[in-house]
Amino acid sequence: MAINPFRVPQFATIFELRDAELKEEAKERERKKQLKIFERSSCRNLTSRRRLLEDEEVAEESDQLDKLKVILQNTKGACIEDETHQEYISKRREMFFLEYSIAIQRAEIERLDELARREEKKLDLAEQCLEQDAALFDEFLKENDKTSVEAIAA
């Protein structure tokens, strides 16, 4: 069974915890007393350690500030709007109708292009037939002239 961290400890356990902490502190003091003089930490060492920790914290803060500046520069001018669900739906609906109308217009343009191609083919075919008819008529006129010249000469 897991220990519930939100349960208030018994009155006696609070004192036991305090006594345990005091014993740990006493052991730590005894351990430091047993250290040789060059192993002990002086006030100077403690301040230099504290200064190093502060420098590291300052460096971390400056790194975080640099990252924030980069993020702000990248998002500068970006439109930040909170839109409601209804606004989102209406925008999506409008986009759908616009895309649908564009698709219909493209289909109509393709249909008209196909119709124009068919009409051009018909015109080309009619032009070829007309040229053939003109060539046949010219040939007929030449033969008719020959026969009329022969008839006059005979």
Whether 114 maps to a domain, the answer reads no
Give the count of domains, the chain: 2
* Of 17-21, 89-93, 122-126, 128-132, minimum mean pLDDT range: 17-21
Read off the pTM: 0.38
Residue 53 belongs to domain spanning = 42-72
Residue 27 and residue 14 in one domain: yes
Query: Tell me: the pLDDT tens digits for 117-131?
Result: 999 999 999 999 999
Residue 51 and residue 66 in one domain: yes
Whether 131 maps to a domain, the answer reads no
Whether 51 maps to a domain, the answer reads yes
Whether 139 maps to a domain, the answer reads no
pLDDT at 12: 66
Residue 52 and residue 63 in one domain: yes
Give 76's pLDDT tier (boundaries 50, 70, 90): confident
**For residues 135 and 127, what is the distance between their CA atoms, to the nearest angstrom?**
12
pLDDT at 39: 74
Query: For the range 33-37, what are the long-range contacts, defined as Cβ-Cβ under 8 Å and sequence gap of 24 or more?
Result: none
